[in-house]
Each structure stands twice: as C-alpha cells, then as structure tokens.
C-alpha cells in the first residue's frame, strides 16, 4: 500500500555520487519508491569515497546519508540483457534520474530520446557538470570543480585577497544542486498532472554554482568593479568575527547600522560610545574601524561565548556562533526541529533530514541504505524474470 505524498511514484536513480541521487533521496523522504541502479560487485563509485578520506570506521557515512530508503538493483548496463531490465523498469517509472556523461549515455542507450519513447509520462531528469550544450558539454566534473571553483565562490570566499583558496567540502555544492533537481522534477510532475505528458528536465553544477554566487555574478553583469575583500577591522565592527574568552568564535551581522550600532554599544555596556566623536557617525566608525574592532576584541575576550550569547540575545543583536561539526550532535535547536531523524533498525544511528517540511505531510522514517544489489533478485522477480534468467543476469 503506497504511503506518503509521493507514495505512488516510482523513481529510478541511475546516477552516481551525490547531486542526482540526493534528489531521489528527497523524493523518497516523502514516500516515493526509489530503485538505485548500480554496477554489480563494485557498486556506485560513491561507496568508496569515505575510504579515500582515510576513514577507519566501518560505517560508510556518505552512503548512509544519500542512499537511505532505496532498493539496490545491480545491473551491468554494458550487457544488452541488463539494459532490457532497465527498459522494463522505465516503462513503469515516473522519474528517471541520471548524471552519466553524455557519451556514456549514448553508448548505453540512456539518453532521453532512448527512454522517453518507452513511457510518454516519464520525467527524464538530467544532471551534468557544465550543462547540456556548449564546448564543455562532455567534460567530467564534480562540485569542487564545476560548482565551487567555476562559479567564482572559491576565489571570493577568502579572508583577504592574498589568502589561499580553500578547497570545498564533500557535497557542499552537490546537495544544493540536488534541491534544484528535486524542484525541476516536482515542477515537471505538476506539468504532467496538467497535460498528461512527461518532460525532460535538466540542471548542472555550474548553473547552481552561478546561482549560489548570484549576487556577485549579477553585479559583474551590471558592470560593477569589485575591490579586493578588505582585511579584518576594515569591514565594519558590526559585520566582523570575534573570539570569546573560551576560544569560541562568533559572527556579528548587520544590514542596518543606524539601528544596530546603538543596540550593540548599549548591550556591551558602552552607550557612551554613541557620543564619542571617534564612533558617533558612520563615517567616523568606518575611518576608525580597526580601533573599534580592537575595543570589541578586548571586551569579548573577558567572558566565554555562553555569556556573550545571553548578552547579545537580550540586546537584540544579530549574531551566530562559528559552529563545529560536533556542536550539532547536542544542539537543542536542531533537536527541537527534528533535523536528525533516527534510521529504522539502525541501532540508534541518525541521519540528516532533507531541509523542508510540508504541513500535514509526514516524512517516511529513514530506512537503512542498501548493500550492492541487495534487492536485485526481488526486483527481477517482480518484473517476471524466472530464477534461471535471474541467475544468468547475475553472472559476471
């Protein structure tokens, strides 16, 4: 019995690594049945990523996150009989997701023009590094190259013009790109509801990187000339990073200095600074920025972050801690919003929830990510294959 908002949807995840498969994961959170197609024996290359990071743990944390709720079907798509299985699934499916390079799609018969004639209601979702057209269409890429590096984010997100470029974190651009893919799929499903027809949808890591960096890209399109990012002390004391006595760092943020400067000065017990000629006007605060930041540095160094969090909250000052990964494990705000649901039969293991809720809709409890080909026999039986045919398909 289908359950959940998307309980009647069948999704084929014929993609690798993160961005495409994670879109399928979000669909599964709302009840869609997702069949993960991956090579026999070795599986999706994403399964090996955590080992490349030198992780000694037995839990493949990447796979646990992005492959929850899925059934694994092991197929060697180089074999015609395996492609026939996939085609049989496509005839029944609502959504087909792939990020295979375009030349590989042509060789394996995975292009939209190969699959959509089999099912006129199919949503064919295509993910690529650099887009469907152009001279770089066939290039391979990851979010580090096509999202982080190509978009200008890698160049701009630095503490100063001379600072080294920082490498991206795994999935940093993939997961936002997955949400774009999810949005495209759901939009196409709505179109299908109106017209009865399937659609081809597409997005790319490059397009999502440009969108993520859109404010700055739009400025460049408007002819704005960027100056080098100013060093600390020259960005304004209301938009600066500070360190408390216990070493915890936090950020102040302001878009309305006329309102926020009196709030901050008063909260910190220095309403007298409001009349000080050194800081009384925006121009004076800008000119004396390093001096003002130095004064706040000295003040914040007197007490631990917990103290300042109470002071700044009471003073209606916008701030946020510079969190570490391990802070999240005992975060009351994260817990209150249920952002780390427990995996069913996962011995207490939790996972990261997809980042939105729909009123009146309960997400499916996350299920354990599958082993390679774990559901192959059951799925092939469901498609009407005999035991002998299943054994022949399983032969390497």
Token output for 35: 């069949």
Give the HSE-up count for residue 271: Cα atoms under 13 Å, Cβ half-sphere: 4
Residue in 174, 152, 220 with CA at minimum distance from that of residue 62: 174
Domain identity same for 296 and 356: no
Residue 3 domain flag: no
Each residue's pLDDT expressed in tens, for the chain with a length of 396 residues: 468 999 999 999 999 999 999 999 999 999 999 999 999 999 999 998 887 766 656 789 999 999 999 999 999 999 999 999 999 999 999 999 999 999 999 999 999 999 999 999 999 999 999 999 999 999 999 999 999 999 999 999 988 888 899 999 999 999 999 999 999 999 999 999 999 999 999 999 999 999 999 999 999 999 999 887 888 888 889 999 999 999 999 999 999 999 999 999 999 999 999 999 999 999 999 999 999 999 999 999 999 999 999 999 999 999 999 999 999 999 999 999 999 999 999 999 999 999 999 999 999 999 999 999 999 999 999 999 999 999 988 865
At 19, is the secondary structure helix, strand, or coil? helix
| 134: alpha, beta or left? (left if phi > 0; alpha if psi -120 to 50) | left
Contacts of 396 (CB under 8 A, 6+ apart): 40, 41, 76
Domain identity same for 205 and 261: no
The DSSP call for residue 147 is I
Domain identity same for 206 and 165: yes
In 117-151, which positions are buried (b, 16+ CB within 10 angstroms) versus exposed (e)?
ebbeebbbbbbbbbbeeeeeeeeebbbbbbbbbbb
Domain identity same for 288 and 185: no
Domain identity same for 210 and 259: no
Judging by DSSP bridges, how do beta strands 199-204 and 123-128 pair with one another? parallel
Domain identity same for 194 and 303: no
DSSP assignment of 259-324, as one string?
Answer: HHHHHHHHHTT-GGGGT-TTTSSHHHHHHTHHHHHHHHHHHHTTS-HHHHHHHHHHTT--EEE---
Residue 221 domain flag: no
Q: What is the domain range of residue 305?
A: 237-326
Token output for 286: 């800008």
Residue 46 domain flag: yes
Domain identity same for 268 and 379: no
| 54: alpha, beta or left? (left if phi > 0; alpha if psi -120 to 50) | left
Share of the chain above pLDDT 90, in %: 90
Give this prediction's pTM: 0.95
Residue 125 domain flag: yes
Residue 231 domain flag: no
Indicate the number of domains in the chain.
2
Domain identity same for 43 and 88: yes
Q: Where are the beta strands (DSSP E) in the chain?
A: 10-14, 33-38, 70-74, 95-98, 123-128, 199-204, 241-243, 249-252, 319-321
Task: Give per-residue pLDDT as tens, 239-289.
Answer: 999 999 999 999 999 999 999 999 999 999 999 999 999 999 999 999 999
Contacts of 118 (CB under 8 A, 6+ apart): 87, 90, 91
Contacts of 358 (CB under 8 A, 6+ apart): 5, 30
- For the domain that residue 206 is a member of, what is the CATH number? 3.40.50.10540
Stated as kind and residue range, the H or E segment containing 24 is: helix 19-29
- For the domain that residue 274 is a member of, what is the CATH number? 3.30.1540.10
Domain identity same for 210 and 350: yes
Domain identity same for 166 and 70: yes
């Amino acid at each position: 019995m289908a359950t959940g908002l998307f309980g009647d949807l069948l999704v084929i995840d014929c993609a690798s690594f993160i961005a495409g498969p994670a879109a399928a994961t979000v669909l599964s959170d709302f009840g869609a049945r997702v069949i993960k197609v991956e090579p026999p024996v070795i599986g999706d290359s994403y399964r090996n990523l955590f080992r490349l990071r030198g992780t000694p743990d037995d839990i493949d944390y990447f796979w646990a996150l992005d492959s929850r709720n899925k059934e694994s079907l092991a197929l060697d798509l180089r074999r015609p009989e395996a492609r026939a299985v996939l085609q049989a699934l496509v005839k029944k499916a609502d959504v087909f997701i792939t990020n295979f390079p375009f030349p590989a799609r042509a060789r394996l018969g995975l292009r939209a023009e190969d699959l959509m004639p089999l099912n006129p209601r199919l949503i064919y979702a295509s993910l690529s590094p650099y887009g469907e057209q152009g001279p770089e269409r066939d290039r391979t890429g990851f979010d580090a190259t096509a999202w982080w590096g190509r978009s200008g984010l890698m160049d701009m997100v630095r503490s100063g013009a001379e600072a080294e470029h920082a490498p991206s974190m795994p999935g940093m651009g993939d997961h936002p790109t997955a949400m774009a893919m999810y949005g495209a799929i759901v939009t196409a499903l709505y179109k299908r509801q109106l017209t009865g027809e399937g659609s081809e949808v597409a997005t790319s890591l490059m397009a999502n990187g440009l969108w993520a960096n859109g404010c700055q890209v739009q400025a460049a399109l408007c002819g704005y000339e960027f100056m080098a990012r100013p060093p600390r002390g020259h960005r304004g004391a209301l938009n600066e990073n500070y360190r408390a006595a216990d070493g915890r760092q936090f950020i102040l943020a302001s878009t309305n200095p006329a309102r926020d400067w009196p709030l901050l000065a008063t909260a910190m017990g220095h309403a007298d600074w409001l009349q000080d000629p050194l800081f009384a006007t925006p121009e004076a605060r800008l000119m004396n920025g390093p001096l003002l930041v130095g004064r706040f540095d000295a003040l914040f160094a007197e007490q631990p972050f917990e103290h300042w969090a109470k002071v700044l909250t009471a003073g209606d000052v916008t701030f946020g801690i510079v969190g570490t990964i391990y802070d999240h494990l005992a975060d009351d705000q994260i817990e209150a919003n249920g952002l780390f649901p427990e995996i069913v039969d996962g011995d207490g293991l939790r996972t990261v929830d997809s980042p939105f809720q729909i009123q009146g809709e309960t997400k499916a409890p996350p299920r354990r990510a599958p082993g390679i080909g774990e559901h192959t026999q059951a799925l092939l039986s469901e498609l009407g294959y005999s035991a002998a045919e299943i054994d022949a398909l399983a032969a390497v």
